[in-house]
Amino acid sequence: MTSTTLQYAAKAVATLGIFLFMVAYQACESLETEDPLLMSIDHMDFESEGSYKITGTLASLGDGEITGLGICWDKTEKTGY
């Protein structure tokens, strides 16, 4: 093969690779949308080290059903949120 043929082949392989990546990326995107939630915390009690009891209200602002909730927090106070 000549160097010109190799250059065309390399460009074709690179173009095909980019095309396949974009197709795969589009296929992997989530099609489900999440409904926005409204959450209010009425009271929070310390139970034991790392365990709290939280009471409040959680409502879906869309048509979806709420099937679970997870909350994470840190010991460091962060301001500006």
- The residue behind tokens 């010991």 is 75
User: What's residue 80's pLDDT?
Assistant: 60
Say if residue 59's pLDDT is above 70.
yes
CB 78 within 8 A of CB 72: no
User: What percent of the chain lies above the pLDDT cut of 90?
Assistant: 0
Judge whether residue 31 has pLDDT over 70: no
Question: What sign for the dihedral angle of Cα 43, 78, 81, 38?
Answer: negative
Residue 44, pLDDT above cutoff 80:
yes
pLDDT exceeds 70 at position 1: no
Q: What angle do CA 62, 58, 46 make, to 5 degrees?
A: 160
More confident residue, 81 or 61: 61
Which pLDDT band, with edges at 50, 70 and 90, does 40 fall under?
confident
